[in-house]
Structure 1
Amino acid sequence: MAPPQLAGTLLTLMRARIAYTLSFWLLGAVALSVLSMGGLTAWHLREGFSAYLQTRDLERLDRFTALVTSRLSAQVASDASAPFNAPDMRALLRTLAEEEGSVAKPSDAGQDSPPPDSEGMLPRRPGFSPPEGSGLLPPRSGPPPGSSEAFGSRVALVRPNGDHWVGPRIERDEPGVVERPVRVDGVVRVWVRFRPRQRAPEAQESQFLRTQYTGIAVVASVLLLLALGVAAWLARQWARPLVAVQHATARIAQGELAVRIPVDRSDEIGDVVRNVNTMAESLQRMEGSRRRWLADLSHELRTPLTVLRGELEAMEDGVRPLDLAAVISLKEDVLRLGLLVEDLHLLAMADLQALSCNFAPEDAVQLVQQILKRHERLMEEAGLQLAWVDPAEEAIAVCWDTARMAQLLSNLLHNSLRYTDAPGRVEVRLWASDGVVHIRLDDSAPGVAPADLARLFDPLYRADSARSRHNGGSGLGLAICAAIAKAHGGRITAKPSPLGGMQLQVSLPAQPERSS
């Protein structure tokens, strides 16, 4: 086999091993259950059948004891002084068989008793074939070979002093020996001693058990075959989406972030597939944000650098004189470039969870009031009315970084200042509830499309491309606000404002965990 073909075969086996593993474990679990149930059933059947045979032997022993009692009682009734004659064991067993219906009684049809057969036995009832070695009609000379478990070969009559009288010799100390007394006129005249079965049942009884065992084995085999088919089907059903996940994650690792897996399941495997799709979507969105960030960053840095380069070339060519005004203009460009770099550095530190904050006790009411006074003149010059709605009458004690919070509030006000049409209105509200301080800012038209609200806090993002640098602003202000709010353990949200513009709400804990 060629190396590429061998590699493909190995890859296929590796991909299919989960199906094999699932099939093996499912089949093993079913096989263990079926075999355990079959073995338990077979054991219970054998034990139950043995208990049935023992119960049947004891019932027969009781009937035999009653028969011996009646015979001895008849002898006592005829001649009480005469000693007991040893009863004919074969005649007793024959009578017991007649009473149990195993053979026909000679007087049933009112005819003379038919002659015995060649072994001196009465003819059997038509159509009846007693089990081999059943012992109901043992031969004259004792039980035939191989019939040691017959009833006649396991019962004997013993004198009251323990001496053997009639039947096979059975010692009293043999395991499981059962004795029954034969009482005549209230006196024990004879003991009936019985030896229980010591080995497997007779031929027909063994055949019955073999038939049951065969049926159990057949049912178990059929169940195992069905389990094999069901296990293979289930393994394929479970392995197919996992193999699809394997292929999809391999493609995602190679950079194909647009790959998606069809989902048609509602179980845990379906959850895994949906999570992989969500992960791929997030990675695709992050990759797009990264590329857009690089493009926007280069664009933002290129603009002030281009201005600096143009002014320096103008001075070099003598177009613009190198005087104090030119130096001040260059300094302003450098300062703007420095502010942009500082903002980018702040966002980078926030992404690395390393944004430093100096928490200190502060009054939130006083802080907001100072920031609003600082921006009143700018708002009036832009044709906007700045209003503090429902100002708090009592101080709200917080533990914040005053400088960072002043930067956050200033960014929010500058955002409204740049993008709110004049004449317009900007409203600020402050309140506290359950240990959380809320600062809400509403401005008038124009508003922001609902589709753009979720991305307002992305770095360098502008909801409207027309709102660019001519309005001042690099697209980092709201991203910095979100970073500062997160550093304080809070969050900032955006939604349409009742005034027709945008509503920004900052929710911060009064005592951030980081302050401890």
Structure 2
Amino acid sequence: MKFGLLAKFFLALLFSSTLVAIAMAISAHWSFRAGFMEYLQNVDAEKLAKVRLALENEYAIKKNWSFLSPKKWHEFLDKQLGEEFHPLQPNEMFPHPKPPDDRFMRDDNPFFERGAPPPLMRAPPPNQNAERHEPRDPNNAPLPNFPREPPPHEGREKFLPKLLPLSLRPRLRLLSADKKFIVGTPIIYSSEELKANKMREISVPINDRAQRTIGWLVLGQGELETDELATSFLKQQTQTYYLIAALVVLITTLTSLFLARQLLIPVQRITTAARHLSAGQYQTRVMVNSRDELGQLANDFNLLAYTLERNETARRQWIADISHELRTPLAILRGEVEAIQDGIRQFNMDTLKSLHVEVLGLGKLVDDLYELALSDIGALDYRREKIDILALIEDIFSIFQIRLQQHQLQLQNQTELTSPVYCQLDARRFMQLLHNLLENSLRYTDAGGKVVISTALSSTQETIIITLEDTPPSVPTEALPNLFERLYRVDKSRSRALGGAGLGLAICKNIVEAHNGTIQAFHASLGGLGIRIELPLLKQS
């Protein structure tokens, strides 16, 4: 299945935007989770520091831990933490396939007191005859008779405390200096249990005034899932993130579809116009509504269409002009031959000379067309060599001076250069260039006028500038850019009467451009037409 450009562009925008939305949702969820966990840990640390400082002060007065019974422990925590304690009911423990042993809840259990949380502890080691250690404080004073680990409850799974939201009480216990249990929640976890239940324990030393360790505060901390309030809040935030991500994806889908359509509308216009152009409708244009890359592409397309239209018009005009130029001398030759055949004209030297002149004109026209064709395909022969361009100008000057005088025209050479100026030229083609220019001035300059040739170096001293100017008549300003087009005439009837076919200046342009130069027409200061040629000089080694 092939996708169009619209579908590809839409899918690319949708995929990238969706990927960004998902990445943002995941990063926001992770950042919130990490920040919330850090907040809970900071709250725990602040409360733990308050309890530790109070215990140090109490120990400094009591000198031992015997004052801390389970009831006194909870009263102490109520005072320090400001938490109203509610004992956990059996059905609030998890997991507990079976309720805890009744003997842990009896009134004769010395560890149990009304208002205190039920003891939570694991089974003792298998060795039931293990030595019992009597806990003592650092001053070797006996501690109160706190309960020891309960007997094992075979066939039951150990259960963990259900932590109250942001509460330290169910997760806090006090140990002696040698880390023997004193009071609190007597939960002892192995490393596997800590890892499996995503729990960790933080131990904070309690020091006396002499900075000796007199006990330890141990706090259990779990991940967010161990707290119902935090879990609920986290779940709500996660759902919110997913909802926002879904909304972003939906908005992205609609936006991507809209943008894809808007961006591809100019492309579709250009595609349609290109099809019309390939069918020969060169007047086709694309409407430009922007200045971006697509707008530039539309401008380039319009320029291409204009160029093709102009070339097609020139081609048709070229064919018409060539047909007309060839038909004129052929018609004259046909008329002369038919007149001789009909006996209207006698076949003598004058008639033969007239026929010869027409044949020469026709041959010159064909030669010029052939030369232009060779120049277009780059097959025109050029034999460049080191030539003194001033010497060539002197040669053409001496050739045309007599011809111009016969037509009552003056030829003047006004050059500012005295030393030789060398260029890499084809001498024969350069002489043809000057010959065509002077022939053009000879045909179209009124009698009594003059033609001036001047030369000078450019400001960069890298090119030579050759200027040819004549006296009136001149050409209209709008005709100046078209003088070098093939078969172009300002006054077609007058040009044909003077023998011009409109190819001389076109050949001159090709010769100059073949030598990496430039040629342009302008209004001469003498009142006629001026031609300016600029050619590169030969670089000195």
Q: 1:168 to 1:444 in 2, by over 3 A?
A: same
Is residue 2:285 matched to residue 1:263? no
Partner of 1:504: 531
Question: Is the CA contact 1:404–1:484 (under 8 Å) kept in the aligned structure 2?
Answer: yes
Q: 1:183 to 1:393 in 2, by over 3 A?
A: closer
- 1:152 shift after superposition: 3.1
Partner of 1:55: 42
Partner of 1:247: 272
Is residue 2:135 matched to residue 1:154? no
Gaps of 5+ in 2: 90-113, 122-158
- 1:253 shift after superposition: 0.5
TM-score norm. by structure 1 comes to 0.83
Partner of 2:97: none
Partner Cα separation in structure 2 for residue 258 and residue 156 of structure 1: 93
- 1:21 shift after superposition: 2.8
- 1:305 shift after superposition: 1.9
Q: 1:225 to 1:412 in 2, by over 3 A?
A: same
**2:538 aligned partner, one-letter code:** Q
Q: 1:282 to 1:148 in 2, by over 3 A?
A: same
Partner of 1:72: 59
Partner Cα separation in structure 2 for residue 313 and residue 177 of structure 1: 127
Partner Cα separation in structure 2 for residue 117 and residue 398 of structure 1: 111
Question: Is the CA contact 2:201–2:219 (under 8 Å) kept in the aligned structure 1?
Answer: yes
Partner of 1:18: 5
Partner of 1:225: 250
Partner Cα separation in structure 2 for residue 281 and residue 223 of structure 1: 46
Question: Is the CA contact 1:379–1:385 (under 8 Å) kept in the aligned structure 2?
Answer: yes
- 1:472 shift after superposition: 1.4
Partner Cα separation in structure 2 for residue 347 and residue 499 of structure 1: 31
Task: Give the alignment partner of residue 29 of structure 1, picking from 16, 19, 39.
Answer: 16
TM-score norm. by structure 2 comes to 0.79
Is residue 2:494 matched to residue 1:467? yes
Query: How large is the RMSD of aligned CA atoms in angstroms?
Result: 3.0
Question: Is the CA contact 1:384–1:424 (under 8 Å) kept in the aligned structure 2?
Answer: yes
Partner of 1:491: 518
Partner of 1:336: 361
Question: Is the CA contact 2:382–2:429 (under 8 Å) kept in the aligned structure 1?
Answer: yes
Q: Deviations over 1:146-188 (max 9, x none)?
A: 7444533432223333333433233586674322222345342
Gaps of 5+ in 1: 1-9, 77-82, 105-115, 120-136
Partner Cα separation in structure 2 for residue 195 and residue 152 of structure 1: 10
**1:92 aligned partner, one-letter code:** W
Comparing 253-262 with 307-316, which one deviates more in the overlay?
307-316
Q: Deviations over 1:366-413 (max 9, x none)?
A: 111111221112222223222222452221122211110111011111
SS in 2 for 1:272: helix
Q: 1:148 to 1:317 in 2, by over 3 A?
A: same
Partner of 2:482: 455
Partner Cα separation in structure 1 for residue 251 and residue 115 of structure 2: 50
Partner Cα separation in structure 1 for residue 209 and residue 401 of structure 2: 132
Partner Cα separation in structure 2 for residue 329 and residue 214 of structure 1: 104
Comparing 423-432 with 62-71, which one deviates more in the overlay?
62-71
Partner Cα separation in structure 1 for residue 115 and residue 466 of structure 2: 111
Partner of 2:118: 141
Partner Cα separation in structure 2 for residue 117 and residue 254 of structure 1: 91
Is residue 2:431 matched to residue 1:406? yes
Partner of 2:84: 103
Question: Is the CA contact 1:361–1:399 (under 8 Å) kept in the aligned structure 2?
Answer: yes
- 1:355 shift after superposition: 1.7
Q: Deviations over 1:316-341 (max 9, x none)?
A: 33444444444444333322222211
- 1:48-447 to structure 2, matched below 5 A, reads 48-76=35-63, 84-85=65-66, 87-89=68-70, 91-103=72-84, 139-142=116-119, 147-150=161-164, 151-166=168-183, 167-170=185-188, 176-184=200-208, 186=210, 187-198=212-223, 200-433=225-458, 434-447=461-474
Q: 1:466 to 1:325 in 2, by over 3 A?
A: closer
Partner of 2:28: 41
- 1:35 shift after superposition: 2.2
Q: Would you say how many aligned residue pairs link Structure 1 and Structure 2?
A: 467
SS in 1 for 2:528: strand
Question: Is the CA contact 1:181–1:188 (under 8 Å) kept in the aligned structure 2?
Answer: yes
Q: Deviations over 1:456-503 (max 9, x none)?
A: 111111122233221111110000000100111112101222222221
Q: 1:160 to 1:32 in 2, by over 3 A?
A: same
**1:97 aligned partner, one-letter code:** D
**1:164 aligned partner, one-letter code:** F
Partner Cα separation in structure 1 for residue 83 and residue 171 of structure 2: 19
SS in 2 for 1:475: coil
Partner Cα separation in structure 2 for residue 93 and residue 409 of structure 1: 119
**2:69 aligned partner, one-letter code:** D
Partner Cα separation in structure 1 for residue 259 and residue 22 of structure 2: 21
Q: 1:440 to 1:138 in 2, by over 3 A?
A: farther
SS in 2 for 1:190: strand
Question: Is the CA contact 1:427–1:442 (under 8 Å) kept in the aligned structure 2?
Answer: yes
Q: Deviations over 1:108-132 (max 9, x none)?
A: xxxxxxxx9998xxxxxxxxxxxxx
**1:253 aligned partner, one-letter code:** S
Question: Is the CA contact 2:517–2:533 (under 8 Å) kept in the aligned structure 1?
Answer: yes
SS in 2 for 1:467: helix
Question: Is the CA contact 1:143–1:153 (under 8 Å) kept in the aligned structure 2?
Answer: no
Partner Cα separation in structure 1 for residue 43 and residue 34 of structure 2: 14
